[in-house]
Amino acid sequence: GESVGLHLPTLSVQEGDNSIINCAYSNSASDYFIWYKQESGKGPQFIIDIRSNMDKRQGQRVTVLLNKTVKHLSLQIAATQPGDSAVYFCAENIVKTGANNLFFGTGTRLTVIP
Amino acid sequence: SQTIHQWPATLVQPVGSPLSLECTVEGTSNPNLYWYRQAAGRGLQLLFYSVGIGQISSEVPQNLSASRPQDRQFILSSKKLLLSDSGFYLCAWTGINYGYTFGSGTRLTVV
């Protein structure tokens, strides 16, 4: 599969602080990127997405930044809460055989310290 | 609204036994369907995807196969399970506007 890697496998932050999770991707043809949150034993939950023609997108407490020059993606979570503790995956979308295919990174485990 | 159903939620199977995991989507037509596997502590690996009935593309060679007998049904199978087939299997679908949605997953343990 395609290579989408994360710089840090684990991240611990104090409750109320901001979190930044980074991701590097390798395929220049990727046109769409998504961040997912996965809690233990559950399927991934969509957080926020960004298309390749954008460099920033904001949601509720979350911001995704895309730097296509260095093929880097980041997820910023403002005022991190205990409920944010989970594994976060970035994924890049690559079109193959007429289908959109998501390729995931290995994930970063975010632990929020109360 | 669209929903995705995946079952069973957990499964323990002996080595060498067959496998059949089913995924169905409701509330949409002609979805793209996907099977992913997640090994413990790892990311998701795309196994198969399908753009239509009977059309299956495989991303990695393995002991598994997939079938799409109906528009909104996607089945993951194996004739003989290996220990290395253990993992968390996730079905997903997308519609015309991307919008990946995942099922709740099946945790398979091969013993």
Domains detected in chain A: 4-113 (2.60.40.10)
- pLDDT in the model for residue A1: 36
The bridge status of strand B10-13 relative to strand B106-110 is: parallel
Nearby residues of B93 by Cβ (< 8 Å), 6 or more positions away: B2, B4, B25, B28, B31, B32, B33, B34, B100, B101
What integer pLDDT is reported at residue B97 of this predicted model?
A: 60
CATH architecture of B3-110: Sandwich (2.60)
- Contacting A residues, span 62-101, partner chain B, CB-CB under 8 Å: 89, 91, 93, 96-101
> Apex CA A26: angle with CA A96 and CA A30, to 5°?
40
List, for residues B86-95, the tens digit of each pLDDT value. 999 999 998 7
The C-alpha atoms of residue B100 and residue A58 are separated, in whole angstroms, by 19
Report the chain B residue with the minimal C-alpha distance to residue A50: B98
Report, as an integer, the average pLDDT of A65-94: 94
Check CB contact under 8 Å for B98 and A100. yes
CA distance A25 to A35: 13
Write out pLDDT tens, residues B19-75. 999 999 998 888 989 999 987 777 788 899 898 999 998 877 678 999 999 999 999
User: What local confidence, expressed as pLDDT, does residue B19 receive?
Assistant: 96
- Sort out which chain B residues have CB atoms less than 8 A from A32's CB and list them: 98
Q: For strands A32-38 and A86-96, give the pairing.
A: antiparallel
Q: Facing residues of A76 across strands?
A: A20, A63
